[in-house]
Amino acid sequence: MELIDRLRQHCQARWGRPPALVACAPGRVNLIGEHIDYNAGFVLPAAIDRATWVAVVPDEAPTLTLEALDLGEAAVLSLDGLDDKPAQTWARYPGGVAWALRDAGLEVRGMKAVYASTVPRAAGLSSSASVEMAFAMAFQQLGGWSRSPMELALLCQRAENKYVGVNCGIMDQFASACGQAGQALLLDCRSLTWEAVSVPAGTAIVIANTCVRRELGSSAYNERRAQCEEAVRLLAARLPGIRALRDVAVADFERHLGLLPAKVAQRARHVVVECERTPAGAALLRKGDAAGFGRLMNECHASLRDLYEVSCPELDVMVAAAQRLPGCYGARLTGAGFGGCTVNLVEAGATAAFSEALGAAYTAATGLQGEIYVCQASAGARVV
């Protein structure tokens, strides 16, 4: 049965009514521009054809009754008591969105909501952002107000930063909010302006899930952010006026490298080069140059592995195996790293053979079972 039908049935069975509305929001894959959003540079994600779906029955009472179908868990939150965070971590995502919307003066009505997702969890495909955005759409529809997708993305990011306590940038919520079918999205993370960039005809985006996740992920993420901030602080002595590593040209970085401790210099080098690589990559995609773009993806992976040090052995195996296969233009880890997924740009006619050979090579090298998805760039969050 389709997910949406299961959710509808659940509303009928639990609350005696069909849902008044159903909303969905996709996960994302990032093609290039990794660990750049919090450095105010450019990122190039696409929304994927896997999403979180939420079905909603309005409730006159000021409460959120939440049921997470995938987890088999339920929670009841009082809208007036959101400052006391729910004990269950999963409930902090919808609860945090309600909190951020109310804090912004937007009306949040009571509801009974059941949700489920086809975005793999903890795999670097932004399942959290998809939950947040799906609920934001539902709250908006029920509240009778309207904000732009980018404004909703910013409110969901705030929920994740301030309520869930994860210090993420804007990329994931943005991609989930603003996705377009068949397009990647080049976002300037400082001005928040963006434009669609077509994925070249005759190519496909293939996602490969290593199905491993390193626990140190979030503390290492915060450490990387802090190192970038330190680099800005130190470089500002010679480059007055810089506000983020995005403002540092590669040539200036080389000139003032001596100001930085070795590790900080290594991290900053990834960022300043990636800040130039991403718009260059978008220009290649616009020209339909899949091979040129693929080379930049490969360079990006090497930089994340060797300089930024956010890869892991399983990701490196998955990337190296892909890069050897026929029809693969480029491969790299996607998202924060430390496990999760790789993204591959593959000749459209080669995807079936590529996926099979990649899965087999990964298992042969690691003894683990990966998962491979051929993915379509998709539309963003919506009420259906």
**Phi and psi dihedrals of 75, rounded to 5?**
-150, 150
Active-site residue set: 172
Task: Determine the interface stretch with ligand GLA among 168-176, 177-185, 275-283, 299-307 (rule: CB under 6 A).
Answer: 168-176
**Phi and psi dihedrals of 285, rounded to 5?**
-60, -40
Interacting positions 210-269 with ligand GLA (CB under 6 A)? none
CB of 228 to ligand GLA, least distance (A): 11
CB of 222 to ligand GLA, least distance (A): 11
Which one of residues 37, 67, 132, 274 is an interface residue with ligand GLA (CB under 6 A)?
37
Which one of residues 95, 169, 330, 380 is an interface residue with ligand GLA (CB under 6 A)?
169
CB of 7 to ligand GLA, least distance (A): 26
Here the tokens at position 109 are 């009505």
Task: Determine the interface stretch with ligand GLA among 34-42, 133-141, 147-155, 356-364 (rule: CB under 6 A).
Answer: 34-42
Here the tokens at position 193 are 């302006």
CB of 78 to ligand GLA, least distance (A): 29
Estimate to the nearest angstrom the gap between the alpha carbon of 282 and the chain centroid. Answer: 18
User: Given the structure tokens 């491969």, which residue do they identify?
Assistant: 331
In whole angstroms, give the CA distance from residue 279 to residue 186.
Answer: 8
Task: Determine the interface stretch with ligand GLA among 54-62, 84-92, 133-141, 165-173 (rule: CB under 6 A).
Answer: 165-173
In whole angstroms, give the CA distance from residue 301 to residue 316.
Answer: 9
In whole angstroms, give the CA distance from residue 254 to residue 373.
Answer: 40
Which one of residues 24, 26, 32, 34 is an interface residue with ligand GLA (CB under 6 A)?
34
Which one of residues 11, 29, 38, 267 is an interface residue with ligand GLA (CB under 6 A)?
38
Interface with ligand GLA, residue 168, by CB under 6 A: yes
- Spatial CB neighbours of 314, under 8 Å, sequence gap ≥ 6: 210, 212, 339, 362, 366, 368
Interface with ligand GLA, residue 172, by CB under 6 A: yes
CB of 193 to ligand GLA, least distance (A): 18
- Region of 278 (left: φ > 0; alpha: ψ -120 to 50; beta: rest) is alpha
Contact (Cβ atoms closer than 8 angstroms) between residue 53 and residue 44: no
CB of 141 to ligand GLA, least distance (A): 25
Output b/e per residue, 310-328; b: 16+ Cβ within 10 A.
bbbebbbbbbebbbebebb
The contact pattern for ligand GLA, residues 12-31, with x = CB under 6 A and - = no contact, is ------------------x-
AA identity, residue 307: L
Interacting positions 297-336 with ligand GLA (CB under 6 A)? 335-336
Interacting positions 105-134 with ligand GLA (CB under 6 A)? none
Size of the site for ligand GLA (CB under 6 A): 11
Interacting positions 330-369 with ligand GLA (CB under 6 A)? 335-336
Distances (CA, A) of 295 to 72, 197, 342, 345: 43, 18, 15, 10
- Pairing outcome for strands 63-68 and 111-117: parallel
Task: Determine the interface stretch with ligand GLA among 142-150, 169-177, 193-201, 210-218 (rule: CB under 6 A).
Answer: 169-177
Q: Which is nearer to ligand GLA, 113 or 315 (CB)?
A: 315
Per DSSP, which regions of 137-218 are E strands?
A: 183-188, 194-198, 203-213
Q: Which is nearer to ligand GLA, 113 or 136 (CB)?
A: 136
3-state secondary structure at position 288 = coil
CB of 35 to ligand GLA, least distance (A): 5
Contact (Cβ atoms closer than 8 angstroms) between residue 133 and residue 176: yes
In whole angstroms, give the CA distance from residue 100 to residue 280.
Answer: 36
DSSP 199: P
Q: Where along the sequence are the contacts to ligand GLA (CB under 6 A)?
A: 30, 34-35, 37-38, 168-169, 171-172, 335-336
